[in-house]
Chain A
């Protein structure tokens, strides 16, 4: 959490102030706390170790709520470069504007999908997880429509998967990255049925 005064450094001092019978919380970094006179340079620094569990629960909830509001405001400003829809519009209406919105809103939408669907991707822990491929596996039938890809589609899929793999590695989601890598390998050749 960043200092409320400078917005740059991590919070080290939490000050409660009563103004006109109202309690105000001010979260500050050490430098700003000293500048504003809440900490004296002459006084020795006291380090108190405590676990987050010991921190007052309503205060923690308040901090989390503030953080989530800040995230929400940030997300609301994301625009889809293809159709111009703002994430806020989607949040109010519930419907996306175009297929590219999934990519543009991937971070806030990922959390939403996790909540709604219990997953962020159509990958379910096996190497073959696409709906139609899964049907092929269980039903033992062939469906060339789902196995043939045009060159553009194939290249787009490879690009998209590579981006997703990089993203998963950056977020340290190694299991997901491995699944995506398997998917990448499973992408059929251009116009070449695999069965």
Chain B
């Protein structure tokens, strides 16, 4: 049994989605971790955030907050001025990908609003006046887009639009739909067998408006086989097309990942099985672990477990430790920000606790 604090970790959006069991019946659900849709809008009649004075920024925030409360879309929501949040809560939001590093720095009129389970969140006055962000566990870009559009429509605001360019955003790389959709995928078998380039070429051929890149948002260096699939363009494309494209490209990658896993399983490669057990040993016995080391180990342990070589790692447990091992979540229990040295020890202790009671076949 896991100790209380660990099992009580707030998973937020990670709690939703399929694949909460061992994934034996639905192996496809084990690959996508989270789908996210972000919609960027600016209120008509105001400059973009960087050129607004403080009174304009507070006006914008007041307008959006009052519309959110009048619309009644959320029975319960939590709105905070980012400057009033301490370092630890801000970093917890960042680790859950609910706010951006730039937004975390704070400033006049910057507010953060989220629903009760953290699935839908809004950043007010980030680069644009309003950034609606919806995160759903698993492969659900369509659901995330529907939820974001529903909120956008319910607010009934007049947004800055242009007949030729669509929705106008401060960053021209988002103009048009103002929509960014992404899926975080775990693709270890493709990476181990050196198939990444081949898959990127396949995406270029069949889904040329998507990009696949190594996920580095929570670590300075890439760690583990986590990849972010997202749309490259927002102009001359409709939101529905973006959603279908992300869904199609993700399904292609998931099929390829599962096909490679089947081939690896048939080969029974001793070197690979050895890597799984070494990763297991590191997480089971290490006394100090960096985030990069833990993610790399966790990625291999997850694959080994899903291929049947290592003890079973349930999907919801895996998601929980993924979140819990991040620096500020480690300090959440003690309501403090751990020093670097303490952070490494706390993380190693977390993994030892997580793995120690699992039976080894």
Contact = CB atoms under 8 A, between A and B. Distances in A.
Interface of A: 82-83, 85, 93-99, 101-102, 109, 112-113, 116-119, 121-124, 129-131, 134-135, 138-139, 143, 145, 157, 160-161, 164, 180, 183, 187
B140 to A, nearest CB: 17
Contact of A134 (B44, B163, B238): B238
Interface of B: 42, 44, 46-48, 50-51, 127, 149, 153, 156, 160, 162-168, 170-173, 175-177, 179, 209, 233-241
Main secondary structure of the interface of B (DSSP, over half): loop
Contact of A122 (B46, B176, B179): B176
Contact of B163 (A118, A124, A157): A157
Given A99-B162, A113-B235, 11 more contacts: A96-B172, A98-B51, A102-B162, A102-B172, A117-B173, A122-B235, A123-B236, A131-B176, A135-B239, A138-B238, A157-B163
Contacts of A187: 163
A88 to B, nearest CB: 15
B131 to A, nearest CB: 13
Most buried by B among A96, A102, A113, A145: A96
A15 B238 CA distance: 53
A127 B50 CA distance: 35
B273 to A, nearest CB: 45
Most buried by B among A93, A109, A113, A131: A131
B172 A116 contact: yes
A119 B239 contact: no
Contact of A131 (B42, B160, B163, B238): B238
Contacts of B167: 131
A82 B168 CA distance: 15
Contacts of A113: 172, 175, 235
Contact of A112 (B50, B172, B239): B172
Given A117-B233, A160-B164, A164-B164, A131 B239 contact: yes
A111 B164 CA distance: 15
14 contacts: A97-B51, A98-B47, A99-B47, A99-B168, A109-B172, A118-B236, A122-B176, A122-B235, A131-B166, A131-B167, A131-B177, A134-B240, A164-B164, A180-B164
B162 A97 contact: no
Contact of A183 (B163, B172, B209): B163
Contacts of A121: 164-165, 235-236
Contacts of B171: 94-96
B147 to A, nearest CB: 15
Contacts of B42: 99
A96 B48 contact: yes
Contact of B235 (A119, A160, A183): A119
Contacts of B50: 93, 95, 97
Most buried by A among B149, B166, B238: B238
A85 B163 contact: no
B127 A95 contact: yes
B351 to A, nearest CB: 39
Contacts of B46: 98
Contacts of B179: 131
Contacts of A82: 47
A176 to B, nearest CB: 10
Nearest to A183: B163
Contact of B162 (A129, A138, A160, A180): A160
A113 B163 CA distance: 16
Contacts of B162: 99, 102, 160
A138 B149 CA distance: 15
A145 B168 CA distance: 17
A166 B233 CA distance: 27
Contacts of A102: 162, 165, 168, 172, 175
Contacts of A94: 171
A118 B237 CA distance: 11
A161 B239 contact: no
Contacts of A138: 238, 240
Contacts of A135: 149, 238-240
B51 A161 contact: no
A187 B164 CA distance: 12
Nearest to B177: A131
Contacts of B237: 124
A94 B102 CA distance: 14
A97 B48 contact: yes
Contacts of B163: 130, 157, 160-161, 183, 187
Contacts of A145: 153, 156
9 pairs of A and B residues whose beta carbons are closest in the complex? A134-B238, A119-B236, A98-B47, A122-B166, A97-B51, A124-B236, A117-B235, A157-B163, A99-B160
